[in-house]
Amino acid sequence: MSAEPIAHDPKWRRLPGERPHQLIEAALDVFSERGFNAAKLDEIARRAGVSKGTIYLYFDSKEELFKAVVNDVIAAQLREAHQGPTPKSESEALERAMRANWAFITLPRFDGWFRILIAELPKHPELLAFYNRAVIDRGWAKLEAIIARGVASGEFRRVEPRLAVGFANSLVIMHRHWVSANSIRPEYQSRDRQQLIDAIVDFALAALRNPAFHSPAQ
């Protein structure tokens, strides 16, 4: 699974070698720490161990570099295959998907990334649209299918699946932000992340499960 996210129009050149990757790595760090505007190309170049001008050998502008970073992060996000044994129930499927998602976005390197996404992505309609297509139309669709099946079988309460996906993701996304450094709720940083996702999953399943439902297997 190679995941070349924007295969239709890869505007940023991908010259051979490691340089572009090094630059994207450095840029991810600096963007995450400082935000798009406050990030200085000087610092990105320094962290990548190259000079400022080198960036422009691979990316046409600071904005294109940013796009490449977004693209790479999204690519990684899409590679998260969530594979595993066939779940016995939709509850288990949902839980597994939420945990996989949590495990991924909880990676330290995405620590400040949520801020970027929230604050900067809306300024790039092209990327926003792409992000919607790539992540939502795939990731959300998968969750939506799970919930729809659960509702159909009676395992879940009668909820609008699309909304339920938003609810589940709200919990995961917001708490991922709160556990990051410099978030608005620093108290969450000291929480055990495992217990946190446990509680989140428990909360979501409690909200969705149909109390009157009994597994047909039993």
Which residues are at the interface with DNA (CB under 7 A)?
15-17, 19, 38-42, 45, 50-57, 60-63
Instruction: State both tokens at 145.
Output: 């299918």
Q: Which of 57, 103, 107, 119 binds its own copies (CB under 8 A)?
A: 119
Q: Residue 78: is it exposed, middle or buried by C-beta count within 10 angstroms (0-12/13-18/19+)?
A: middle
Is the CB of residue 48 less than 8 Å from the CB of residue 26? Answer: yes
Rounded Cα–Cα distance for residues 126 and 63 (Å): 12
| Residues between 17 and 46 with contacts to its own copies, criterion CB under 8 A | 35, 37-38
> Quick one: which of 178, 173, 160, 167 has its CA closest to 206?
167
The residue among 52 and 142 lying less far from DNA, judged by its C-beta, is 52
Instruction: State both tokens at 90.
Output: 């939709």
Which of the choices its own copies, DNA, none does residue 183 contact, using the CB cut-off of 5 to 8 A by kind?
its own copies
Which of the choices DNA, its own copies, none does residue 53 contact, using the CB cut-off of 5 to 8 A by kind?
DNA
Give the single-character DSSP code of 134: I
The residue among 15 and 184 lying less far from DNA, judged by its C-beta, is 15
> Quick one: which of 132, 142, 139, 141 has its CA closest to 70?
132
The reply to whether 166 sits near its own copies by the rule CB under 8 A is yes
Interacting residues with its own copies (CB under 8 A): 35, 37-38, 114-123, 128, 131-132, 136, 157, 159-160, 163-164, 166-167, 169-171, 173-175, 177-178, 182-188, 196, 199-200, 202-204, 206-208, 211
